[in-house]
A and B are shown apart, each in its own frame.
Chain A
Amino acid sequence: MDEEQLIQAIQTGDERAFKELVEKYQLLVVNTCKSFVHNMHDAEDISQDVFIEVFNSAHKFRGESKLSTWIYRITVNKSLNFIRDHKKQSLFQSIGNTLFGTSQSLDVRLNSYADRPDFQAENNERKANLYQAIDALPERQRIAFNLNKFEDLSYREIADVMQLSVSSVESLMHRAKLNLQKSLYACYKNEN
C-alpha cells in the first residue's frame, strides 16, 4: 500500500493497514521521542500515544504534506507536552519538598531524567551533560536540532514539520549549535 492508500484504509478503521503503518514508522516515532526525553521507557509511552492519535485522527490528514511530516509533527507535539507536564509535576514536587523540608534537588531539568535509576545505569555523566545542554536550548532551536541531528532530517524537511521557511530553520540551527557549543565548553572547562 502506498501512503495515500494506507491512510485511507486507516480512516475506515482497517487494523491491518494500521499495523503496517506502525511497523513502517515505529523507529521514526520512537527515536524522535527518545531524542526529547532521553530514555526508552518514556519514549515508548509517548510513541504509543502518537500512534493512537494517528489512528484516531487519520480523517484529519488531508495529504497536504507527506505522511511522515504529519507523523513527525504529532510526535514533536506529544514529546513537548510530555516534557511540559513532567516539568510541572517536578516543579510541584520541588515546591512541596521545599515547603515540607525535604532536601531534594530543585533542578527540574535534572529531575526529569538524570536522577532516574534507568538513566544512571545506561548513561554516564558526559551523556547527562550533553542531554542537559540540548534540553537547555530554547524550544524551537531544540526541535530543529533534534530533528536534524537525531533524525537526519534536511533543513527543508524540518521546515515542513515546523511549518517555517528554510531560512528560519537555518537560523535556528545556527543559534542552536552556538548555544550548545557554549554549554558543552562550560562542562568541558568544569571537568578539566
Chain B
Amino acid sequence: MKHQQIRDKLIFFREQSLPENETRIIQEHLVHCKECSLFLDRLNEDFATIQSEKLVSADPFYYTRLKAKMEQHEQLGVTSRSWAQVVVFSVLLIFAISGGIMLGKNFSTLDYQNETVTSELLLFDGVKQEPIEQFLLTEE
C-alpha cells in the first residue's frame, strides 16, 4: 500500500477494525513514516477530546431550572389563551353590533319603502333614465 492509501485508513486502524494483513502493513509503515505517525497521534487526540467533552455527573439543580421554564411556558400559555379569549369576544361583539345595525337598517328601509315607494320612484325616475351629465347639459 502507498503512503496515501495508508493515511486514508488510519481512522479505521485506530479502531482496530481492519483485517489483520492490512493492520500489519500499516504498523510497518508507521515505523518509518513520520507524517502518518503524527496524523495518527492527532486523530487519537481528537477522539480523546470527544470523550472528555462528556458530562459525567448530573446537575442537582437541573430539575429546578426545568420546572421554572415549564412554569414560565404555562404562564405564557395562559396569557396567550386569555388574549385569544379577548380577541374572540371582541370579534363576537363586533359581529353582534354590526348585526344589530344591519337589522336596524333593514327594518327602517322596509318601513320607509312601504310608505314612500311610489313617490321615490316618481321623483327620481327621470334621473334614473338619463345620466346626470346629460340632464345638466340639457338644462343649459
Q: Which residues of A contact B (CB under 8 A)?
A: 19, 22-23, 26-27, 30-31, 34-35, 38, 44, 48, 51-52, 55, 126-127, 130, 149-150, 177-178, 180-181, 184-185, 188, 192
Contact A185-B70, Cβ < 8 Å, known A31-B54, A31-B55, A127-B49: no
**Interface pair B55/A178, CB less than 8 Å apart:** no
Tell me how far the C-beta of A180 lies from the nearest C-beta in chain B, rounded to whole angstroms.
7
B73 cross-chain contacts in A, Cβ below 8 A:
52
Tell me how far the C-beta of B45 lies from the nearest C-beta in chain A, rounded to whole angstroms.
8
Taking residues whose C-beta sits less than 8 angstroms from the other chain, chain B's interface range is 20 to 34
A185 cross-chain contacts in B, Cβ below 8 A:
7, 39
**Interface pair B49/A130, CB less than 8 Å apart:** yes
Tell me how far the C-beta of A12 lies from the nearest C-beta in chain B, rounded to whole angstroms.
17
B55 cross-chain contacts in A, Cβ below 8 A:
27, 30-31, 34
**Interface pair B50/A149, CB less than 8 Å apart:** yes
**Interface pair A22/B63, CB less than 8 Å apart:** yes
**Interface pair B8/A26, CB less than 8 Å apart:** no
Tell me how far the C-beta of A19 lies from the nearest C-beta in chain B, rounded to whole angstroms.
6
B47 cross-chain contacts in A, Cβ below 8 A:
149
**Interface pair B63/A48, CB less than 8 Å apart:** no
**Interface pair A184/B42, CB less than 8 Å apart:** yes
The B37-82 residues at the A interface (CB cut-off 8 A) are 38-39, 42-43, 45-47, 49-50, 53-59, 62-63, 65-66, 69-70, 73
**Interface pair B49/A181, CB less than 8 Å apart:** no
**Interface pair B8/A178, CB less than 8 Å apart:** yes
Kindly state the separation between the CA atoms of A44 and B62 in the bound complex, as whole angstroms.
9
**Interface pair B53/A34, CB less than 8 Å apart:** yes
Look across to chain B and name the residue whose beta carbon is closest to the beta carbon of A38: B53
**Does B11 sit at the interface, judged by CB under 8 A?**
yes
**Interface pair B50/A150, CB less than 8 Å apart:** yes
**Interface pair B53/A181, CB less than 8 Å apart:** no
* Residue in contact with B66 in the complex, picked from A22, A31, A150, A180, CB distance below 8 Å: A22
**Interface pair B69/A48, CB less than 8 Å apart:** yes
**Interface pair A48/B50, CB less than 8 Å apart:** no
* Residue in contact with B63 in the complex, picked from A23, A150, A180, CB distance below 8 Å: A23
Look across to chain A and name the residue whose beta carbon is closest to the beta carbon of B68: A48
A126 cross-chain contacts in B, Cβ below 8 A:
45-46, 49
Kindly state the separation between the CA atoms of A39 and B73 in the bound complex, as whole angstroms.
23
**Does B10 sit at the interface, judged by CB under 8 A?**
yes
B7 cross-chain contacts in A, Cβ below 8 A:
185
Kindly state the separation between the CA atoms of A35 and B43 in the bound complex, as whole angstroms.
18
Find the residue from A38, A52, A185 having the highest chain B CB count within 10 A.
Answer: A185
**Interface pair A19/B54, CB less than 8 Å apart:** no
**Interface pair A180/B39, CB less than 8 Å apart:** no
Top 10 closest pairs, chain A to chain B, by CB = A181-B11, A177-B11, A26-B58, A130-B46, A48-B69, A48-B66, A149-B50, A22-B63, A31-B54, A188-B42
Tell me how far the C-beta of B53 lies from the nearest C-beta in chain A, rounded to whole angstroms.
7
**Does B12 sit at the interface, judged by CB under 8 A?**
yes
